Amino acid sequence: MSTLVVPILRVADARRSVEWYRQLGFEQAFEHRFAAGMPAYVGIQRGDALIHLSEHAGDAPGPGLLYVWVEAIDQLAEHFGVEPDEMPWARDIEVTDPDGNRIRLAEAVPPS
């Protein structure tokens, strides 16, 4: 049996957020609105990682914090102009999306 956990982040403008998350390699998977003019509920995906972004006021009041495992942390660190932190389990960086949600991106360190 497999389990997939999908975090939901509250965002003010889903379109703006989708564009911001593209920097991290995420692409829009779907968009749902109950009717025209209603808040958007959007899924973004990078490989097996899926995040839902919700404009609905009652969804996931935040800001939130996500820990995302990636490969090639140095490229992302360079893009955001930061140095990775060296942890015993990973090299990681933290960035903040336009809505104040914090995203920790980490590349696993090989066991010693």
Cβ–Cβ < 8 Å for 94, 101:
no
For residues 22, 67, 11, 95, the Cα torsion angle rounded to the nearest 10 degrees is -60
Mean pLDDT of all residues in the chain?
Answer: 94
- Which tokens go with 89? 């389990």
For residues 10, 13, 15, 17, the Cα torsion angle rounded to the nearest 10 degrees is -50
Please indicate, yes or no, whether the overall pTM of this predicted structure exceeds 0.75: yes
pLDDT band at 2 (very low <50, low <70, confident <90, very high): low
Query: Where is 75: in which H helix or E strand?
Result: helix 73-80
Q: Is 73 helix (H, G, I), strand (E, B) or coil?
A: helix
Q: What is the pLDDT of residues 4-58, one digit of tens each?
A: 889 999 999 999 999 999 999 999 999 999 999 999 999 999 999 999 999 999 9
Q: pLDDT above 70 covers what percent of the chain?
A: 98
Give the model's pLDDT for residue 50.
Answer: 95
**3-state secondary structure string across 30-50:** EEECCCCCCCCEEEEEECCEE
Please name each of the domains of the chain with its CATH number.
8-108 (3.10.180.10)
